[in-house]
Amino acid sequence: MLVEFSVGNFRSFRDIVTLSMLAANLSAKDKTLDENTVFETEGEPRLLTSAAVYGANASGKSNLVRAISFMREFVLNSPKETQPTGAINAEPFRLSAETIAQPSHFEMVFIAGGRRYRYGFMATSQRVEKEWLFHVPRSREARLFERMGDDVQLGEGFKEGRDLMSKTRPNALFLSIVAQFNGKVAQKVLDWFFRLGIASGLEDTGMRMFTQQKLFDGEMRDEIVQFVRRLDLGIHDLKVEHVPTRIDSLPESMPEGLKTAFRSLMEHTGTKIEDVAIHTVHPQYDRDGHLVAQEIFNLDEQESEGTQKLFALAGPLTHTLKEGRVLVVDELDARLHPLLTREIVGLFNARETNPCHAQLIFTTQDTGLLDNRFLRRDQIWFTEKDRYGATHLYSLAEFRVRNDASFGRDYVRGRYGAIPFLGDLRQIVEAT
């Protein structure tokens, strides 16, 4: 379960900002919304099941997802992906002379195995400057380790890290090295990051391959088919054809980060990649409305881009809900009807469909979700750039807003900021 994520001096984020899944001390207009979107586990704070991030184009929404993705990939792959002198792909805020040479900051607070952890690091393109891991064994936070450059101070609960700093390169994470040497706590932390799902609504190759693998394995076939049927696409079943292929034959169009994550997934689970052809099954009726046959369509050739995206989403969404994981999706609403987007988010905001307290964090432009009957104020976040090109992140819960306010209408009117400032486009067109 995700509690908070913080990032600073990374791409468009100059100052440290925090996305929090902590439930604020507020109540929704509809009390059943509070009951469905807020949950708590014993001894832990109240958390939210979902969070939506809004903002103008180029305001930093996608950079927030990139920051989470970078942290995940570096935690999982820093020992094997970087060479002794290899560069770290931590891009600082480049529009300030003061920050461009400073380290980027990343920190994640999460709950794993019934215990809360706070893990983070600061890194330049050359080395890890700082790194820390704390946990809450009872009521107070305790240090597991703190790293300053090449020096590491260990807490009582992290004896597994003894004598391993000498095996840690400057451009690798100490936590990842300890996990490689079978440190139990370090492996638990890495496993949480491995279980953290990250996807793009615009480039869905990774999601598509994940869904295909789950469908082919038969592990989640019924859940995936039911998900697709529920969305009223006219599809009654799915069929697969598969041809084994090699791990080095991933599509060239797939971003390198997704390739790395997918290879990690395959290595971690021990499964094989399959080149899968997906066919959708549609019912055929006679003029009296009687079912007489079934028509088989090729998903890629005969279904819409929206249907293809929904198929790609089916695996990650059902898997996340089933296992109570965390899923982060950039541009969730891309190529989807607003009612479909609302239905997907609603799966996380209902106890009946989300009994394991899975969490969905997504960026979107769909103002139809800005409804006081659908999202609490603390579930709504905004990104906005200032005059210096730096992204600020803030929640609607920070505003004095009535519970019965029209969130969507007020957002479009600019009451909460985070909207584009447009010049007179008509004048430009008329001038030409």
Amino acid in position 201: G
Pairing state between β 47-48 and 380-385: unpaired
Determine the pLDDT at residue 277. 81
Closest to 47 (Cα-Cα) out of 320, 319, 379, 350: 379
Which of 288, 320, 352 is where one domain is finished? 320
Same domain for 379 and 340?
yes
User: In angstroms, rounded to a whole number, what is the distance separating the alpha carbons of residues 432 and 429?
Assistant: 5
Same domain for 373 and 390?
yes
The CATH number assigned to the domain holding 4 equals 3.40.50
Give the phi and the psi of residue 200 in degrees, each rounded to 5.
Answer: -120, 130
Residues 6+ apart with CB under 8 A from 201: 309, 329, 330, 331, 332, 333, 334, 335, 336
Neighbours of 110 (CB within 10 A): 20
Domain count, the chain: 2
Residue identified by tokens 């696409």 is 233
Same domain for 55 and 127?
yes
- Name the β-bridge partners of 19: 5
Residue identified by tokens 């997907």 is 344
User: In angstroms, rounded to a whole number, what is the distance separating the alpha carbons of residues 397 and 420?
Assistant: 21
pLDDT of the chain, 432 residues: tens digit per residue:
999 999 999 999 999 999 999 999 998 888 899 999 999 887 788 999 999 999 999 999 999 999 999 999 999 998 765 566 668 989 999 999 999 999 999 999 999 989 999 999 999 999 999 999 999 988 899 999 999 999 999 999 999 999 998 899 999 999 999 999 999 999 999 999 999 999 887 777 888 888 888 887 777 889 999 999 888 788 989 988 765 555 555 666 566 666 666 666 555 555 454 566 889 999 998 898 888 898 999 888 898 888 899 999 999 999 999 999 999 999 999 889 999 999 999 999 999 999 999 999 999 999 999 999 999 999 999 999 999 999 999 999 999 888 778 998 999 888 898 887 665 656 666 665
- The angle formed by the CA atoms of residues 359, 364 and 366, to the nearest 5 degrees, is 115
Residue identified by tokens 């450059």 is 149
Determine the pLDDT at residue 257. 63
Same domain for 258 and 394?
no
What are the tokens at 120?
Answer: 């983070």
- Whether the CB-CB separation of 381 and 52 falls below 8 Å is answered with yes
Same domain for 53 and 79?
yes
User: In angstroms, rounded to a whole number, what is the distance separating the alpha carbons of residues 174 and 145?
Assistant: 9
Determine the pLDDT at residue 204. 77
- Name the β-bridge partners of 383: 55, 393
Determine the pLDDT at residue 85. 63
**One-letter-per-residue 3-state SS of 358-407:** CEEEEECCCHHHCCCCCCCHHHEEEEEECCCCCEEEEEHHHCCCCCCCCH
Determine the pLDDT at residue 182. 94
Determine the pLDDT at residue 428. 62
Determine the pLDDT at residue 314. 92
Same domain for 330 and 272?
no
Same domain for 305 and 416?
no
What are the tokens at 324?
Answer: 């109570």
Closest to 228 (Cα-Cα) out of 313, 300, 298: 313
Same domain for 70 and 189?
yes
Closest to 332 (Cα-Cα) out of 375, 304, 363: 363
Which of 290, 320, 350 is where one domain is finished? 320
What are the tokens at 271?
Answer: 């499964």
Pairing state between β 197-200 and 115-123: unpaired
Same domain for 38 and 171?
yes
User: In angstroms, rounded to a whole number, what is the distance separating the alpha carbons of residues 403 and 389?
Assistant: 32
Give the phi and the psi of residue 415 in degrees, each rounded to 5.
Answer: -65, -30
Same domain for 312 and 338?
no
Which of 262, 294, 320 is where one domain is finished? 320
Domain range for 282 is 203-320
Residues 6+ apart with CB under 8 A from 271: 213, 217
Determine the pLDDT at residue 289. 87
Same domain for 263 and 411?
no
Contacts 24+ apart (CB under 8 A), 418-427: 418/54, 418/55, 418/56, 418/59, 418/382, 418/383, 418/384, 419/56, 420/56, 420/57
Neighbours of 251 (CB within 10 A): 11
Pairing state between β 47-48 and 38-39: antiparallel
Q: How far is CA 84 from CA 72, 78, 81, 168, 415, in A?
A: 20, 11, 10, 10, 50
- Name the β-bridge partners of 151: 148
Give the phi and the psi of residue 66 in degrees, each rounded to 5.
Answer: -60, -35
Sign of CA dihedral 258, 261, 264, 265: negative
Same domain for 123 and 258?
no
Kindly compute the dihedral angle of the four CA atoms of residues 65, 37, 210, 267, in this order, to the nearest 10 degrees: 80
